[in-house]
Chains A and B, each alone.
Chain A
Amino acid sequence: MAVINKDKQQAVIIRGLYKSFGNNDVLRGVDLDLYGGENLVVLGKSGTGKSVLIKIISGLLKPDSGTVNVLGKEVASLKEKELNELRLKIGFSFQNSALYDSMTVKENLAFPLVRHKTSLSRREVDKAIDTVLDAVGLLDKKKQMPSELSGGQKKRIGIARTLILQPEIMLYDEPTAGLDPITSCEINELINEVKIKYNTSSIIITHDLTCAKITGDRVAMLLDGRFVKEGSFENVFTTEDEQIKSFYDYNFIQ
């Protein structure tokens, strides 16, 4: 596990974040820092607002109150154009990959690239696609449709699609959900490779403790809309707190 240099500039700073849906208070005063170059794992049960948290960071959802500062910019106060400029620096890997199912793998990867880097020639676009496909180990799947890929391959292509814009921050929503243990391990290794190769800071949302242990430089435990403990994996789970222990025990039994 890497040692986090907290002197590094924070990529994400969240203070006093609240978010409700109707009468359901999902996030209740969340404070969070993501430091440059670290993998931060956010652990928690389903429905505790983990995915809501990263959707707020990427500007897909608006918070009820609190501040979200990403790469020095307050997300809530940005205009559409400024938000889109910021989004180019954020990669979002969705739980179900969210590949465009009417496009081939190559078209999926080219889709954001040709719209943002209009000066690139066709050869440069092809080269960029080959580079990210090589990084996720699926260079031979370029012409396939998403429906022809396995769950793990879809996850990899989803990650490749975010990498093609060379983001500074990666947000992973349940990267190992629904995958067998071997494929989960491969995805965990890929997350670590992405961090090193693309020099990203990442937030990894999961309830998979193996994923947390392998990928996380730091782990933060979200319970009932608040972070109750954060630190290294060992620190978080060396506790007498019944809620955290029960989460660990449940995963262990699983």
Chain B
Amino acid sequence: MSSKNSNNYFISKGVDRFFLIFSDVVSFIGKFFKETFRRPFEWNELVKQSYEVGYKSLALITLTGFITGVVFTKQSRPSLAEFGAQSWLPSLVAIAVIKSLAPLVTAIICAGKVGSGIGAELGSMRVTEQIDAMEVSAVKPFKYLVNTRIGATTAMIPMLMLYTAFVSMMGSYLDIYLHEQTSFTFFIQSAFSKITFLDFASSIIRSIVFGFTIGAVGCYKGYHTTGGTQGVGKAANAAVVTSMFLIFIEEVIILQIINYFR
């Protein structure tokens, strides 16, 4: 089939395009793993990117996590009060936050903040030929730009998730203390009585996968940007939309797998 004749396709234009993109993504991820274990390692850039992903997301994560904890507690109280079961509030919040809300809230915030940033930054570097400049000076741009960013999101997002869980629980405790005057010790004992190691492990595993996804999608979209400044905007947008879409699919799949081991 001639590539010159744009009307000829193996199956159809859409299906051909899907398989081309799929093979491109597989080779992109394959290259990431190949480069990860090759010297030289870009430690300085990895630390810098970890700072960008982790430290610079703290303010937003703190606010969102805290409000999530407060709002969830407030919304759950009336339903539990109907059965006289307000004392279950800490356990309920802990189960919701640690098992589900913290990984998802962290991932979605980072998809928006970090994913779009990576997509826009690499996209801009692509259209201004900065990536080509690295390549012609025999510096591996993939290793320097992609491996460090994916590494940073994969390492930092699980940590941010744990921080989100902590801040959400503090928000929840504040609301419970103001209403029920529960002691902190009772709150913690009650909250963690229903949480198992597998719950923590499940959330950390999901956050690692989400972090990898956000980094990989942002880098892929940015690295393959075409079409000038408009292309940069599209890359940033596509990085967020694709990451969120994949995060929800991964959430369902990983939960199914982990529930199998319960």
Contact = CB atoms under 8 A, between A and B. Distances in A.
B140 to A, nearest CB: 8
Interface in A34-80: 55, 58-60
Contact of B139 (A22, A60, A115): A115
A98 B129 contact: yes
A94 B133 contact: yes
A100 B6 contact: no
A94 B138 contact: no
B137 A87 contact: yes
B6 A111 contact: no
A112 B140 CA distance: 10
B141 to A, nearest CB: 10
Given A60-B132, A94-B129, A116 B138 contact: yes
B207 to A, nearest CB: 27
Nearest to A116: B138
Interface residues of A, number: 28
Interface string A152-168: 00000000011001000
A203 interface: no
Interface of B: 4, 6, 40, 125, 128-130, 132-140
A22 B129 contact: no
B130 A98 contact: yes
Contacts of A116: 138-139
Given A22-B6, A23-B4, A115-B40, A96 B129 contact: yes
Contacts of B4: 20, 22-23
Q: Determine which residue in B4, B125, B132, B136 has the highest number of CB atoms from chain A within 10 A of its CB, and name it.
A: B136
Contact of B132 (A22, A94, A162): A94
A84 B128 CA distance: 21
Interface in A77-122: 84-85, 87-88, 90, 92, 94-96, 98-101, 111-112, 115-116, 118
A253 B132 CA distance: 35
A115 B144 CA distance: 11
Interface in A200-231: none
Given A22-B6, A23-B4, A115-B40, A101 B136 contact: no
Contact of A111 (B129, B139, B140): B139
A81 B6 CA distance: 35
Nearest to B121: A102
Closest 10 CB pairs of A and B: A98-B133, A84-B138, A112-B137, A98-B129, A87-B138, A92-B136, A58-B136, A94-B129, A98-B130, A115-B139
A100 B133 contact: yes
A158 to B, nearest CB: 8
Contact of A165 (B6, B40, B130, B137): B137
Nearest to A111: B139
Interface in A115-134: 115-116, 118
A85 B137 CA distance: 10
Interface in A161-179: 161-162, 165
B132 to A, nearest CB: 6
B128 A98 contact: yes
Contacts of A165: 137
A23 B2 CA distance: 11
Contacts of B134: 100, 111
Nearest to A113: B137
B196 to A, nearest CB: 44
Contact of A96 (B40, B125, B128, B135): B128
A92 B138 contact: no
A92 B133 contact: yes
Contact of B137 (A20, A95, A99, A161): A161
20 contacts: A23-B4, A55-B132, A58-B136, A60-B136, A84-B140, A85-B138, A87-B137, A90-B136, A92-B133, A92-B136, A94-B129, A96-B129, A98-B128, A98-B130, A99-B133, A100-B130, A101-B128, A115-B40, A115-B139, A116-B139
Interface string A12-41: 000000001011000000000000000000
B138 A88 contact: yes
A23 B5 CA distance: 8
A75 B16 CA distance: 31
Contacts of A112: 137-139
Contacts of A118: 40
Contacts of A23: 4, 6
Contacts of B125: 100
Contacts of A60: 132, 135-136
Contacts of B132: 55, 60, 92, 94, 98
